[in-house]
């Protein structure tokens, strides 16, 4: 045993584990006066400085986290008993210091201060065994009338501060806090408590990636299939519609067609058919492009040269026989008219029989030409009308075929592109999953390592802590001290 009380306390720990050299605090020869807001701390410090100039008094702001004061005066107002948050304050202030004195302030104005003091004492004794033997005094540092009442506190402080055992106990208390902190650290590391949040987040992200992959894959496949089906239906409808409207337009043209324009009509119909095919092709390109864009794929290529349908010439020329028959019928009709006219003349004016004959002949001839001409035009129109119907039917089947071919080709190219895209995304997702798995493994390994370290380090630390507590709370014979110590050890 040495004379140095600090070295004596350190020796208790070193005897268990020589590796434990210092509790890692700086002992300062000051008295910390602290307490809740407006309890009377500042007034008490001022009064104590006057009464005990040989000691230094500080408020908590003046101490660092590793500074250990020689004593702590915990100031509480005499108005009401101590609260939970006040207790947290004293725990913090007395972390590294064993000597804690409770001071109930402003006892000059609060008559029931003794009851408050008793209540405070009971509450703190309940809170932790170390507070069970804590001394309590009443003070009035800045009374409204009369002199400050500090004698008891001053006496207590000077007695305790001059006691060499105080230093040893303070050091032991610092050791106790230090050992508890280190052990808590080892336990937390060993159980992976700190990594828990990160590990949970990683697992969640892993699940999200997997679910996202499954979802996006099936969603896109379904979308492509339904978009292609829609395209097929809508474009076929569009093609049919174009053909129907061009047919009625051309049939209207036919019904008003003059003899002179008949020759040019065929060319006109062919150009309209080409236009319709081009329009349908353009419509297909646009619609498929939209589908591809919506799915984030490249638009299928447009056909380089659209094949126009085979359109036969209208059968206008092959009516020689019918024309001849028409001529004969027309001539008969003309002759009849001529005879009727000449009879009419002969009946009206018998002298004009020759003139009547000539007039009848002329009228008959004119009528014959006219009837034959009209008949021919009507016949041609009827032929063209049928031809227009045939042409638009051909046009319709060829545009529908165009739709079917191009949509099929687009479906093939978009499906294969989608598959490639899926594969790329799968690879990326797999890479990210692998990264997450690696980090999870690392966490599991680190936690296992920390658990092994904790298993090795905790028993000697526990022994050291037991030794420190035995010193602080007294050896086994003291029943209350021993009981408290056991309670804390088990906790």
Ligand X SMILES: Nc1nc2c(ncn2[C@@H]2O[C@H](COP(=O)(O)OP(=O)(O)O)[C@@H](O)[C@H]2O)c(=O)[nH]1
Interface ranges with Mg ion (CB under 5 A):
41-42
86 scored as a contact of ligand X (CB under 6 A): no
Q: What Rg value do the Cα atoms of the chain yield, rounded?
A: 57
60 scored as a contact of ligand X (CB under 6 A): no
x/- track of binding to ligand X for residues 103-132 (CB under 6 A): --xx-xx-----------------------
- Among the listed ranges 31-39, 242-250, 287-295, 329-337, the one in contact with ligand X (CB under 6 A) is 31-39
Contacting residue, 27, 67, 143, 383, with ligand X by CB under 6 A: 143
In order of 128, 358, 362, 429, the CA distances from 331 in angstroms are 139, 16, 12, 92
Q: Which residue has the tokens 């001849």?
A: 324
Query: 385: part of which helix (H) or strand (E)?
Result: helix 353-473
415 scored as a contact of ligand X (CB under 6 A): no
Contacting residue, 7, 11, 15, 38, with ligand X by CB under 6 A: 38
Residue 54 interacts, among Mg ion, ligand X, none and using kind-specific CB cut-offs from 5 to 8 Å, with none
144 scored as a contact of ligand X (CB under 6 A): yes
Residue number, 48 or 465, with CB nearest to ligand X: 48
Residue number, 105 or 174, with CB nearest to ligand X: 105
Q: Nearest distance from residue 45's CB to ligand X, in Å?
A: 8
Query: Which tokens hold the place of 342?
Result: 């000449």
Beta bridge partners of residue 69, listed in sequence order? 28
79 scored as a contact of ligand X (CB under 6 A): no
Q: What are phi and psi of 53, to 5 degrees?
A: -65, -20
Residue number, 41 or 166, with CB nearest to Mg ion: 41
Q: What are phi and psi of 314, to 5 degrees?
A: -70, 140
- Closest residue to Mg ion: CB criterion: 42
Q: How many CB atoms lie within 10 A of CB 100?
A: 19
Residue number, 59 or 437, with CB nearest to ligand X: 59
Q: Which residue has the tokens 């309940």?
A: 126
Secondary structure (H, E, C), 57-117: EECHHHCCCCEEEEEEEEEEECCCCCCHHHHHHHHHHCCCCCCEEEEEECCCCCCCHHHHH
43 scored as a contact of ligand X (CB under 6 A): yes
- Among the listed ranges 38-46, 63-71, 222-230, 279-287, the one in contact with ligand X (CB under 6 A) is 38-46
Residue number, 73 or 250, with CB nearest to ligand X: 73
Cα separation, 12 vs 171, whole angstroms: 11
Residue 39 interacts, among Mg ion, ligand X, none and using kind-specific CB cut-offs from 5 to 8 Å, with ligand X
40 scored as a contact of ligand X (CB under 6 A): yes
Cα separation, 44 vs 54, whole angstroms: 16
Q: 171 CB contacts (<8 Å, ≥6 apart)?
A: 5, 6, 9, 10, 23, 27
How many chain residues interact with ligand X (CB under 6 A)? 17
Q: Nearest distance from residue 110's CB to ligand X, in Å?
A: 8
Contacting residue, 140, 280, 372, 391, with ligand X by CB under 6 A: 140
* Interface with ligand X (CB under 6 A): 35, 37-43, 105-106, 108-109, 140-144
């Amino acid at each position: 045993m040495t004379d140095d009380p600090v070295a004596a306390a350190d020796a208790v720990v070193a005897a268990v584990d020589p590796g434990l050299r210092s509790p890692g605090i700086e002992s300062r020869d000051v008295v910390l006066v602290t307490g809740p807001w407006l309890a009377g701390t500042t007034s008490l410090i001022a009064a104590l400085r006057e009464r005990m100039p040989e000691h230094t008094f500080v408020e908590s702001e003046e101490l660092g986290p590793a500074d250990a004061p020689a004593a702590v005066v915990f100031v509480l107002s005499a108005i009401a008993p101590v609260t939970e948050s006040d207790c947290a304050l004293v725990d913090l202030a007395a972390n590294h210091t064993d000597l804690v004195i409770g001071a109930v302030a402003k006892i000059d104005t609060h008559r029931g201060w003794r009851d408050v003091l008793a209540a405070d004492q009971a509450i703190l004794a309940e809170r932790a065994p170390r507070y069970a033997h804590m001394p309590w005094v009443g003070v009035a540092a800045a009374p409204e009338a009369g002199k400050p009442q500090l004698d008891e506190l001053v006496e207590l402080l000077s007695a305790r501060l001059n006691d060499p055992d105080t230093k040893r106990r303070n050091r032991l208390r610092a050791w106790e806090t230090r050992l508890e902190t280190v052990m808590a650290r080892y336990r937390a590391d060993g159980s992976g408590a700190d990594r828990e949040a990160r590990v949970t987040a990683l697992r969640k992200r892993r699940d999200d990636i997997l679910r996202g992959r499954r979802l996006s894959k099936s969603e896109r496949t379904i979308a492509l299939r339904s978009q292609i089906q829609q395209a097929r239906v809508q474009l076929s409808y569009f093609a049919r519609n174009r053909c129907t409207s061009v047919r009625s337009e051309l049939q209207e043209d036919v019904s008003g067609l003059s003899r002179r324009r008949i020759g040019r009509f065929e060319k006109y119909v062919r150009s309209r058919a080409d236009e319709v095919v081009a329009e349908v092709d353009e419509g297909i390109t646009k619609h498929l492009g939209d589908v591809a864009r919506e799915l984030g794929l490249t638009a299928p290529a447009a056909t380089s040269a659209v094949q126009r349908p085979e359109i036969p010439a209208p059968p206008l020329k092959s009516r020689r026989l019918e024309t001849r028959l028409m001529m004969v019928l027309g001539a008969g009709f003309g002759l009849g008219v001529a005879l009727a006219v000449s009879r009419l003349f002969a009946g009206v004016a018998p002298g004009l029989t020759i003139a009547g004959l000539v007039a009848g002949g002329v009228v008959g001839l004119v009528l014959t030409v006219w009837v034959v001409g009209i008949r021919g035009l009507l016949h041609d129109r009827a032929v063209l009308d049928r031809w227009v119907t045939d042409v638009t039917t051909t046009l319709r089947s060829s545009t529908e075929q165009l739709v079917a071919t191009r949509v099929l080709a687009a479906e093939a190219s978009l499906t294969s592109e989608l598959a490639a895209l899926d594969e790329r995304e799968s690879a990326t997702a797999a890479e990210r999953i692998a990264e997450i798995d690696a980090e999870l493994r690392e966490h599991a390994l680190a936690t296992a390592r920390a658990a092994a370290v904790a298993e090795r380090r905790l028993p000697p630390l526990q022994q050291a802590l037991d030794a420190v507590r035995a010193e602080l709370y007294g050896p086994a014979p003291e029943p209350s001290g021993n009981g408290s110590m056991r309670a804390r050890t088990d906790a």
